[in-house]
Chains A and B, each alone.
Chain A
Amino acid sequence: MHVLVLLLQILVLFAVVMLHVAYATYFERKIIGHMQVRMGPMRVGWHGLLQPIADGIKSFFKEDIIPEQADRPIFLAAPIICLVAMLTSLAVLPFAPGWVLADINIGLIFILAMSSLSSYGVILAGWASNSKYTFLGGLRSMAQVISYEIAMGLSLVGVMMLSGTLNLSKIVEAQGTSFGGMYIFPQIIAFFVFCVAMLAETNRVPFDLPEAETELVSGYATEYSGMRYAMFFMAEYIGMIVMSAIGTICFLGGWNGPFTVPGVPFFWFVLKIYLFLFVFIWIRATLPRYRYDQLMELGWKLLIPLALANIALTGIVKAIIG
């Protein structure tokens, strides 16, 4: 019986997240369009509201092209690795008090592990496609993930030190319900490092070097088509949602808000995630892509030292205050 309930919960979460992914693409196109004084999708449905569904149907029925010289099993598996790793990390996110599929004690580490695992999908896709563009995209993704994973992990160490736990629900509870309790105030440096590393981890502009459509055609996804291509993008958007959730949980006080909305315990959590997603899109509409060496410089020479300094500072302050 318990298993059935769990399965049902998983199904509901999956459906809700997939719907969010579909409409995240819609809002991205709409917002970027308006920021560029265009309109975005307007044709399918009222103001293009059915566009993501049309896109989904289209990519589902499109031909799945596999290059002759590709490493077939890895080529087929890569997008699935990407998507599954990202979907798995949804399990540990607490959406509201008690609303979590797997309330494990290493939630934060689990999510970091899963997001690194999903970059394996990108790297394997780049390798298995047997094409120059995808290979370069895969290599860039590898270097980028190695550099920024460290910065992201280190930036979250401060949060771990303050809350004394890795369990995501307990991190939220440790921040209390007050506005001043949010970790964004004592951990402002960590929040800055996290935000930059978050963009790099999800391969978003201005760190979209693995994809880089202006230089690498479509990066690691060049040889993919149809549903497999769509899976990479689903993974990317789920990654955005997961990273937004981590930012919300670790720095913005999770499901706590100025007042409780009766009947909708996840209201503030979802609102904060939407805020993060908007910032993702806003940044994409504004900033150009980083140059490769600048990306590395930023990661190793600025973000990692900053995160380390933040850890030291947090430790000293904690030792003095007690």
Chain B
Amino acid sequence: MFVKYKPKRNLLQTILHTEILQGMALTMRRLFSRPITRQYPDEEIPVALGFRGQHALVRDPETGGSTCVACMRCATVCPSRCIRIRFHDEESRRVVDSYDIEALRCVYCGYCEEVCPVNALVLTEIFEYAAYSRDPFHFTREDLLANWDRFVEERHIDRETYVNPFWRPRGMPEGRLPAAKRLPVPSDWTLEGQVVGAGYDQQ
């Protein structure tokens, strides 16, 4: 495509500065348009689907604790190495001793919630958790569970529909995903083909 950078002007247009006047007319029109500014602390900012905010461990209503199975995938995939898990073996399963997240090192990439096979870890929509010292950003398992409780209370989240319907590894056929990841995906989230749906196997 040929881009015409400088449109032809005749002498009259040059003398009368029509291009400058066009620009002035544009700014004048904008003067009476609605500003797009959001007055943040007064106005609430709409949070987009899949926003990655404060970390939380989903509280399992049956056990009252976390659903984490200490598979260590999140700690392995984490590019900033901010997740630290300790566990011990008990017969045929692992028991989590401690689950720490150093939030100040986190880059909020969301890989941890993508790989989690049981949807135990989420990055919630909460982003206002500034503090004056470093300590409040070191989340232990209890802190993370409390984060989830607070999130559910504040935003009235339904666990079934919120927890990871769309945080799933890309490009993987549905059949190969862990059972917890095969939840229905909101239709507006699949628009750009970011999430591989059920029909992927045929290709």
Interface residues of A (CB under 8 A from B): 31, 33-39, 42, 282-283, 285-287
A36 to chain B, nearest CB (A): 7
CB neighbours of B34 from chain A (8 A): 37
Segment at the interface with A among B24-32, B46-54, B69-77, B137-145:
B24-32
CB neighbours of B36 from chain A (8 A): 37-38
CB neighbours of A286 from chain B (8 A): 20, 23-24, 26-27
CB neighbours of B28 from chain A (8 A): 35, 282
Q: A36-B30, A286-B27 are in contact. List 11 more A-B contacts (CB 8 A).
A: A31-B31, A34-B32, A34-B35, A37-B33, A37-B37, A39-B35, A39-B39, A283-B24, A286-B20, A286-B24, A287-B20
Contacts A37-B33, A287-B20 known; A282 to B27 CB distance under 8 Å?
Answer: yes
Interface residues of B (CB under 8 A from A): 20, 23-24, 26-28, 30-37, 39
CB neighbours of A31 from chain B (8 A): 31
Q: Is the CB of B24 within 8 A of A39?
A: no
Neighbour of A35 across the interface among B20, B31, B37, B39, CB < 8 A: B31
Q: How far is it, in angstroms, between the C-alpha of A42 and the C-alpha of B41 when the chains are bound? A: 12
CB neighbours of B33 from chain A (8 A): 34, 37
Q: How far is it, in angstroms, between the C-alpha of A34 and the C-alpha of B32 when the chains are bound? A: 7
Q: How far is it, in angstroms, between the C-alpha of A319 and the C-alpha of B26 when the chains are bound? A: 44
Residue of A nearest to B24 (CB): A286
CB neighbours of A283 from chain B (8 A): 24
Residue of A nearest to B36 (CB): A37
Q: How far is it, in angstroms, between the C-alpha of A38 and the C-alpha of B30 when the chains are bound? A: 10
Contacts A282-B24, A283-B24, A287-B23 known; A42 to B31 CB distance under 8 Å?
Answer: no
Q: Which residue among B28, B32, B33, B37 has the maximum number of chain A CB atoms within 10 Å of its CB? A: B37
Q: Is the CB of A35 within 8 A of B27?
A: yes
CB neighbours of B37 from chain A (8 A): 37-39
Q: Is the CB of B24 within 8 A of A34?
A: no
Q: Is the CB of A42 within 8 A of B39?
A: yes
Neighbour of B35 across the interface among A38, A282, A285, A287, CB < 8 A: A38
Q: How far is it, in angstroms, between the C-alpha of A283 and the C-alpha of B34 when the chains are bound? A: 20
Q: How far is it, in angstroms, between the C-alpha of A282 and the C-alpha of B32 when the chains are bound? A: 13
CB neighbours of A282 from chain B (8 A): 24, 27-28
A23 to chain B, nearest CB (A): 18
Q: How far is it, in angstroms, between the C-alpha of A31 and the C-alpha of B33 when the chains are bound? A: 12
**7 nearest CB pairs, A to B:** A35-B27, A39-B37, A286-B27, A39-B35, A286-B23, A285-B27, A35-B31
Q: Which residue among A31, A34, A42, A287 has the maximum number of chain B CB atoms within 10 Å of its CB? A: A34
Q: How far is it, in angstroms, between the C-alpha of A231 and the C-alpha of B36 when the chains are bound? A: 34
Q: How far is it, in angstroms, between the C-alpha of A282 and the C-alpha of B28 when the chains are bound? A: 8
CB neighbours of B30 from chain A (8 A): 34-37
CB neighbours of A42 from chain B (8 A): 39
Q: List 17 A-B contacts (CB under 8 A).
A: A31-B31, A33-B35, A34-B33, A35-B28, A35-B30, A37-B34, A37-B35, A37-B36, A38-B35, A38-B36, A39-B37, A282-B24, A286-B23, A286-B26, A286-B27, A287-B20, A287-B23
Q: How far is it, in angstroms, between the C-alpha of A31 and the C-alpha of B30 when the chains are bound? A: 10
A51 to chain B, nearest CB (A): 15
CB neighbours of A287 from chain B (8 A): 20, 23
CB neighbours of A35 from chain B (8 A): 27-28, 30-31
A143 to chain B, nearest CB (A): 23
CB neighbours of A36 from chain B (8 A): 30
Neighbour of A34 across the interface among B20, B26, B31, B39, CB < 8 A: B31
Q: How far is it, in angstroms, between the C-alpha of A37 and the C-alpha of B27 when the chains are bound? A: 9
B112 to chain A, nearest CB (A): 37
A200 to chain B, nearest CB (A): 15
CB neighbours of B23 from chain A (8 A): 286-287
